[in-house]
Structures are given as C-alpha cells and as structure tokens.
Amino acid sequence: MTIRKANRRGETRLIVDIHYRRTDGSQGRYRKDAHVQTMAGARAEERRLLALIATYGEPFEPRVEVVVKEAPAVTFKEAVGLFRNGKAVTRLKPSTRKGYEEILETRLLPRFGETPIDKLTCSDVEGLDAVLVDEGCSPSRRRNVLIVIRSVLRAAVEAKKLSVMPDLPPLPKTGKKVLRCLTAEQVEAILGKAKGGGRVALALAAYAGLRAGEVRALRWEDVDLAGGFLVVRFSHSKGEISTPKSGHQREVPLAARLAELLREVRGEGLGLVTVSSRKEAWGEWGLTQLFKRAAKKVGIVGFRFHDLRHFFVTELFRRGGSAPAVQALAGHEHLSTTSRYAHVARADLRDTVALLGHGNSSVTSS
C-alpha cells in the first residue's frame, strides 16, 4: 500500500509512502503527508507521483537550468545614436549640438566607434587626450572633447545600456580669460558707421544685452515702445528657433538710446525688429560681418559682436547695478557668470580713484 494511515497526536493522517527505483538503479523512497487529507485526494496525488517516477525516475520534475544569454555590449557608435535621438535633441541648444556633432564625427567615432562602451577605459580616453595635446589643441578644446564623451556615456547609463559611468580622466583646467571691454565712446563710434536695421541690431546687443541669436529672433510683437521694455522669448541659431540660452524668457527695459533707434525703424522688415539691408532675416554670420565692417571703419580691432553684450553687462556694473539685477537683465543662468563682469567694473573704479593720488592736489584745508 502506498497510501497508509497514521495516528499522530490523536489525529488520523493520510500518508503517501512510495518505494521506487531511480534511473541509476538505486532505491528511493517518497514519504510525506498527503496534501489533501481525503482518500480521493491522496489517491490523486499518488497517481501523479507514480507518473513522475515512471517518466523521470524521481517523484518530481527535474529542474531545468535556464541559461540567460547576455545581450551584446552596446558599442560607442550605438551609444552615440541613443544620445543623438535623445539628450542631444531635448537638452542641447542648436549651436551646442552642432559643436558636439563636429567632435563626434572628427574625433570620437573614428577612434571609439566600434568599442563596446563597457570596455572603454580611462587609459583609452587619456590616449585621445594625449593626441590632442600633441596636436597643440587648447585646454578648452580638449575639455570640450572630454565633455562630449561624458555626455554620450551618461546618456547610455540613463538608457540602462551601461551599468555605471566608467572612471574618466579629469577635465583640463582652462582658466579664466581677462575680459576686454569696449568703452561707451567706442560703442557709439561703431553704431555711427551702421545704418537702419544694422544699427538697431548692434544697439540691441550694446544697450539691451541680447545675444546674436536673440537679436535675429526678436519680433516687434515683443517690443513695447510705449511701455519702454522688450521681452526676449526666442533665439535663432543654426537655422532653428529655440528658447534663449538660459532656457528662460526675460524682460529688459529700453535704454533711451535704444528706444530712439527702434522708433526710427518701426514698421520695417518681416515682423522682425531688425533685418539686413536686403530686408531679409539676418544670416548666421551676418551680424558678425556687420560688426567687423563698422568697427574697422573707426579703427577698432580685436573685438567681436558678442563684445557689445559684454559692454552692456559691464556698463550696468559701472553704473552701480546689483549682481542679481544684472544677472536677470543679461539672462545669465548662474550668478558666477555675471560676477566676472563685476570684477572688471571694480577694476575700473579702482583705477579712477587712483587718479586722486596723481599730480598736485588742488584741495586745501579749511
């Protein structure tokens, strides 16, 4: 009998007790309380166990080892594809994206394209950095290349294609550059050599602090001459309209000089505040060439269109503007960026006060 009864602490229990022979010829025994304590239930369990023994030589199904094949490691080229379709679109400005693409195509894909990203080591990246040093690349250029590598790998981590960020060499230190600023006289001299919409474009940078892309995108609907302010909502760069660099819109009160120039050209263009001499939207390099031509006519060299914006920020500090207010007007994301200009302004003030110690004093005691 493979089903038997046993009395355990005054309670009758049905026990399944089966003697059997294993496939290797050894003797085996299965002895356990029936899962269902009825004779019909015990008999059903008995039949199931006997069928397993007949099939497998044991009263249970053999454990099947499941072998999970690891997916092949993602290559750097595939990780770049993930980055291009994700973070590059959602987080980078058009101009920044173009810079990334240049580095990817000329530096990173030719060297690391087929390398699995989980095999990319610190030594590999240091080797690339050494090549850049040998080629005479600036610390800033080397830093940009390493930043792109980090961005691609970080995107792979976020996409669960790489478990953790690998150890990478530190970013090269670039140091801070000493800012050269235009004077108010130089700015007015440059404006005097431009006409119409060109003069307004230069003035928007010098007296409202707009970046080149913001100048190209500014529309009359965002200028309130009666109220005396303009709103910077968009930037036009690399053929794309996007938000300003900081990602935030900002309101800038109109300086009297800028308001005067805006009134002179009100109604011109294609809805844009400033257009080229052909009455067309400014091209990517149009404002750069406009500035260079005007500056050259008055003998000013070594400056760029963007230096008009530097003049705006520095002049606000020279006239006593607070750092938070200047930051808001300039659209700087970080106050540390604004503070660079405050140092320049303080240097100007020190130099001016130092004049009191030169020559003979005309102050007499009373």
Q: How far apart are CA 190 and CA 207, in angstroms?
A: 13
- Would you state the pLDDT for residue 364? 40
What is the distance between the alpha carbons of residues 274 and 267, in angstroms, rounded to a whole number? 10
221-224 contact pairs (CB < 8 A, 24+): 221/271, 223/254, 223/262, 223/273
Query: What distance lies between CA 83 and its chain's CA centroid?
Result: 11
Please report the pLDDT score of residue 362 as a whole number: 43
Is 82 within 8 Å of 48 (Cβ atoms)?
Answer: no
- Least confident interval from 49-58, 116-125, 342-351: 342-351
Computed over every residue of the chain, the mean pLDDT equals 87
8-state DSSP, 137: -
DSSP state of 119: G
Confidence of residue 95 (pLDDT cuts 50, 70, 90): confident
Please report the pLDDT score of residue 70 as a whole number. 62
What mean pLDDT do residues 342-363 have?
Answer: 60
Rg (CA), the chain: 38
According to the model, what pLDDT value does residue 360 have? 46
DSSP string across 301-318: -S--THHHHHHHHHHHHH
Cβ contacts of 164 within 8 Å, gap of 6 or more: 157
pLDDT at 127: 94
Q: Cα–Cα distance between 101 and 84 in angstroms, integer?
A: 9
Query: Does residue 165 carry a pLDDT above 80?
Result: yes
Residue 121 DSSP label: -
β-bridge pairing 3-8 and 250-253: unpaired
- Mean pLDDT throughout 304-319? 91
Q: Which residue has the tokens 């750092």?
A: 323
Q: Which amino acid is at 356?
A: L
Label the pairing between strands 235-237 and 240-242: antiparallel
Going by pLDDT thresholds of 50, 70 and 90, the confidence category of residue 270 is low
Is 56 or 112 the better-scoring residue by pLDDT?
A: 112
More confident position, 339 or 303? 303
- Please enumerate in sequence order all residues whose Cβ is within 8 A of that of 340, keeping only pairs 6 or more positions apart, or say none: 176, 179
Residue 351: the pLDDT is: 63
Residues 6+ apart with CB under 8 A from 291: 190, 202, 303, 304, 305, 308
Residue 329 structure tokens = 């007007």
233 closest CA partner among 263, 260, 210, 205: 210
- Is the distance from CB of 6 to CB of 15 less than 8 angstroms? yes
Tokens 């003069």 locate to 199
pLDDT at 363: 41
Please tell me the predicted confidence (pLDDT) of residue 60.
82
Q: What phi and psi values does residue 235 have, to the nearest 5 degrees?
A: -135, 135
pLDDT tens column, 175-229: 666 677 899 999 999 999 999 899 999 999 999 999 999 999 999 999 999 999 9
pLDDT score, position 293:
96
Check whether 125 has a pLDDT greater than 60: yes
The residue to which tokens 């050599």 are assigned: 193
What are 242-263's pLDDT values in tens digits? 888 888 899 999 999 999 999 9
Task: Say if CB 3 and CB 50 are below 8 A apart.
Answer: no
* Residue of higher predicted confidence among 246 and 47: 47
